Amino acid sequence: MPSWCANYDNGPARYRAWVDGNRRLVHAATAGRIGYLHIPDMGPRGYAEFHRGFLAELVRDGLIVDVRFNGGGNVSQLLLEKLARRRIGYEGSRWGAVAPFPSETIGGPIVALTNEHAGSDGDIFCHSFKMLKLGPLIGTRTWGGVIGIAPREALVDGTVTTQPEFSIWFEDVGWTVENYGTDPDLVVENRPQDYAAGQDAQLAAAIEAAQQLLAERPVHKPDLTMRPSRALPKLPRREQD
């Protein structure tokens, strides 16, 4: 999400155009097999944006989760829980189409995109994504501003003071995500000339990675022509006395 998406009155519209443009690009490049969503922060807006994209893209075989420019918050655990659910089967009904089991799961690969503008709970999301082995993390090292605040001490002039209050420790790196961030599995930069040309090298790398993973491990779907019959078995013919 380039900075201009949030700094002007038309920021929400420009943000939506950016996200929709990325999604169309991903769909076109993968023949509709890979989905795309962006998470702008880890607060109410990001929570809503995640589900807006996630629920719409469940019909795809794979998913690109873009957390570049993520402003942080505190809902990363809820989003990771959804992404960590693995599809193990399908549920069919007599009159409807088959549905994934468990519901709201991605059947194929998940790839995450990040950059140096993703921080706080955006850092935490990216590091957790790697530790949970949900898929490759692509882009540049995250910001590294993890320690959180609770803006609750108001002054008489209406301003608010904050102080560092919340930090996080990981099994693999301890406390050191703070002031460092987390490294992607594959480093890809968007250079100034890429921005000038309207190109997104990081998104292109994520598309390539998702397609490669999908080719290596295709999504296994049920063959509806082989659906078993549940009719009552025929009784053997009765012999005449």
pLDDT in tens, 31-82: 999 999 999 999 999 999 999 999 999 999 999 999 999 999 999 999 999 9
pLDDT tens, 38-51? 999 999 999 999 99
**DSSP character string of 29-69:** HTTT-EEEEE---BSHHHHHHHHHHHHHSTTSSEEEEE-TT
Burial class (CB in 10 A: 0-12, 13-18, 19+), 156: exposed
> What's the number of domains the chain is made of?
1
Question: Phi and psi for 29 in degrees, rounded to 5?
Answer: -75, -20
Is there a domain that residue 236 lies in?
no
Residue 154 in any domain: the answer is: no
Coil/strand/helix, residue 1: coil
- Across the strands, what pairs with 117? none
Within a domain: 158: no
Stated pTM of the model: 0.88
Q: Band the pLDDT of 168: cuts 50, 70, 90.
A: very high
Task: Note whether residue 208 is domain-resident.
Answer: yes
Specify if 98 maps to a domain: yes
**b/e map of 58-77 (b: 16 or more CB within 10 Å)?**
bebbbbbbbbbbbbbbebbe
Model confidence at 7: pLDDT above 70: no
Question: Is-contact 75 155, C-beta < 8 A?
Answer: no
Q: How far apart are CA 217 and CA 148, in angstroms?
A: 39
Looking at residue 104, which CATH number applies to its domain? 3.90.226.10
